[in-house]
Structure 1
Amino acid sequence: MSFLDAASSEGPFVLTEHDAVDVLDLYARCIDYFMLQDGEPATLADAIELFWDVPEEKSAVDQTVMGWRGENGLMAVGAILRDYPSNGVWYLGFMIVDAAARGKGIGRSIYDVIERWAVDRGAQEIRLAVLEVNGAAERFWRSLGYRELRRVGPDTFKARSHHRVELCRLLGGNLPA
């Protein structure tokens, strides 16, 4: 099964903290991202944190972590938080695709599933943030119609500090206010 086949037929699955070892395995295959963000490889604690890291005014039950499996195990994850920072606005807090699958349309296919899922549950807008130094990620999101909302930071990620670009996209024909 190819990565593209896996993106359409092997997910999404709702993941829980019990899947943290599989998430860590994916993180190990995405070491380039974690070296960029943190300056060091991801740990099991980082994989577990995916399920609990939400703003203090929200609860982990407000977040859904989805996963897609391929022939090498978990090939992508996406974590989306509903109604944050306000009702109808959902926050894609994290999405990562196996490094071996990048550049093949997998990220776009997975995002499409996440967006449809969120719209079906009331999302009118999705927001996300990318590291300012991650030009490839920013170009990817802008190619999907995201526009810059603001720049934030710097924020500390383990051994590194980064500014982030917060992006937003209106859904379902919504027009900007």
Structure 2
Amino acid sequence: MSDIVLRPITRSEDAEDALDLAQRAADYVTLEVGHAPNMDFIDGFFTAVPPGLSQDALMTFAVMEEQAMVGMICIAEGYEFPTDWWIGLMLLDPAFRRRGIGRAVLRLVKRKARRAKMTMLKLSVLEANPRAMHFWVREGFLPHRYAAATPESDGHDRWVLKYHL
């Protein structure tokens, strides 16, 4: 595996590449949103921030292997607590999964978080996605709480996981 790099991306410059990646990773997108990826999904990737945070709290990155965009990740700084980073989405091209790229991305995220003096990484995993749950638990994340679907939510039951830095 070549070196993995996280390259900051923006909606204005990288939306088409992000959509192309999401279409390659349509298995997950369809599981989450119930339909094939479209530009609304990409808009959400670049703009959806957790409650109480501003757009400035959102960091979006392309996962690059040489010149290829093999994934993307968004992180919200300061959710749920000021020293937490919330991983909103880590999406990898299926052709590049099971090659250690997820682990390499997580290593880079941990390094960035420690430099930013964060103390906790958090994320939620769809209960309907056991492969993702296995990955995150294998990487040292622990169950924090169960978040059952509500009438106001998107209909997915989730596990919120945490990792102490």
The TM-score normalised by the length of structure 1 is 0.86
Aligned length: 162
Matched, 1:168 2:162: yes
Corresponding residue of 1:114: 109
Match of 1:174 in 2: none
User: How large is the Cα RMSD of the aligned pairs?
Assistant: 1.5
- Equivalents in 2 of 1:70, 1:113: separation in Å? 13
Select the residue among 23, 32, 41 that pairs with 1:28.
23
Secondary structure, aligned partner of 1:103 = coil
Q: Spell out, residue by residue over 1:59-87, the C-alpha distance to the aligned partner (whole angstroms, 9 max, x if none).
A: 11111111123478421111111111111
C-alpha deviation, 1:144, in angstroms: 0.7
Q: CA deviation at 1:48?
A: 1.8
Counterpart Cα distance in 2 of 1:80 and 1:71: 22
> Is structure 2 residue 26 aligned with structure 1 residue 12?
no
Checking the alignment, whether the CA contact within 8 Å between 1:146 and 1:169 is kept in structure 2 is yes
Distance 2:142 2:128 in 1: 17
- Gaps in structure 2 of 5+ consecutive residues: none
Deviation at 1:153, TM superposition (A): 2.9
Query: Normalising to structure 2: TM-score of the pair?
Result: 0.92
1:33-72 equivalent positions in 2, closer than 5 A: 33-70=28-65
SS in 2 for 1:150: strand
Whether the 8 Å CA contact 1:51–1:60 is kept in 2: the answer is: no
The residue that corresponds to 1:99 in the other structure is: 94
Where in structure 1 are there 5+ consecutive unaligned residues? 172-177
Identity %: 28
The runs of at least 4 consecutive aligned structure 1 residues that moved more than 3 Å come to 70-73
| CA shift in 2, pair 1:121/1:71, >3 Å | closer
